[in-house]
């Protein structure tokens, strides 16, 4: 897990970096808003700890510009416990905040919570071409058009989409979606795939679910 600290006070910054490294994280430090924004955009961080009062670019500007391009969790540090600051930070897309001075243990706890939440959020959506699957809401759209699926159809699509470009055998699909462990009933799978295609593929120009003769099915964007 890699964390970026954007903090201009050297004592605080170094203290945070040291503490996070001791806690097992990879931690980088940026001492002004411009460097912070640059690092956050150029590298893959799992979380950004962002001070608000920063030279060159303030934390709000960093946050706003970061949010135009990235969804990385952001925890901001504010020196004043003012409702306006908290509201502003959260409205700009921050995920949490801490008021200075804070205990390092508290920062660590907040970071761990955000990282857990971040991981869930990542896997909440699957997107392949114009197909979007919201796992938690069990909502499927293509090009913004809502597609209504039965629970089994949803499970089948979810399975295929969570292993894109991987050929899944009928027996594997049967065991995962229907809990069946024998090959004789796998024509259930063919029927279900046909129904799923009628909803997810046929009304649209780009086919995503492909049959691999003698092997099974694969969901992938083959273009065209």
Interface with Ca ion includes 95 (CB under 5 A)? no
* Beta-bridge partners for 30: 6
Q: How many residues bind Ca ion (CB under 5 A)?
A: 3
Judged by CB under 5 A, does residue 8 bind Ca ion? yes
Pick the piece of the chain touching Ca ion (CB under 5 A) from 45-53, 65-73, 90-98, 161-169.
45-53
- Show the tokens assigned to 110: 């907040």
Which residue of the chain is nearest Ca ion when measured via CB?
53
Looking at the Cβ atoms of 78 and 186, the one nearer to Ca ion is 78
**Shortest Å, Cβ 100 to Ca ion:** 9
Q: At what angle do helices 10-22 and 104-124 cross, to 10 degrees?
A: 60
Tell me the DSSP string of 169-184: EHHHHHHHHS----GG
Q: Which is nearer to Ca ion, 77 or 140 (CB)?
A: 77
58 binds Ca ion (CB under 5 A): no
53 binds Ca ion (CB under 5 A): yes
Q: According to the binding rule CB under 5 A, does residue 98 interact with Ca ion?
A: no
Tokens 């024509």 locate to 187
Per CB under 5 A, the segment of 7-15, 83-91, 142-150, 154-162 that binds Ca ion is 7-15
CB of 107 to Ca ion, least distance (A): 15
Q: How does 81-96 read in b/e, with b if 16+ C-beta sit within 10 Å?
A: eeeebbebbeebebbb
Quick one: which H or E segment has residue 102? none
Q: At its nearest, how many Å lie between Ca ion and the CB of residue 6?
A: 9
Kindly tell me the burial class for residue 140, based on how many C-beta atoms sit within 10 Å of its own C-beta (0-12, 13-18, 19 or more). Answer: buried
């Amino acid at each position: 897990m890699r964390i970026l600290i954007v903090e201009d006070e050297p004592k605080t910054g170094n203290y945070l970096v040291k503490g996070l490294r001791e806690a097992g994280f990879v931690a980088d430090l940026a001492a002004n808003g411009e460097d912070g924004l640059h690092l956050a955009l150029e590298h893959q961080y799992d979380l950004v700890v962002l001070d608000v009062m920063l030279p060159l670019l303030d934390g709000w500007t960093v946050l706003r510009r970061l949010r135009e391009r990235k969804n990385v969790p952001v925890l901001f540090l504010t020196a004043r416990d003012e409702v306006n600051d908290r509201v502003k930070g959260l409205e700009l897309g921050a995920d949490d905040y801490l008021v200075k001075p804070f205990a390092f243990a508290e920062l660590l706890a907040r970071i761990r919570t955000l990282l857990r939440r971040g991981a869930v959020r990542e896997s909440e959506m699957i997107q392949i071409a114009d197909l979007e699957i919201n796992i938690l809401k069990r909502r499927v759209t293509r090009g913004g058009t809502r597609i209504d699926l039965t629970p089994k159809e949803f499970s089948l699509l979810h399975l295929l989409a969570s292993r894109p470009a991987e050929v899944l055998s009928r027996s594997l699909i049967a065991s995962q979606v229907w809990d069946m462990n024998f090959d004789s009933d796998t024509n259930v799978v063919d029927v279900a795939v046909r129904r799923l295609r009628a909803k997810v593929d046929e009304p649209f120009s780009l086919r995503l679910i492909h049959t691999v003769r003698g092997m099974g099915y694969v969901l992938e964007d083959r273009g065209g």
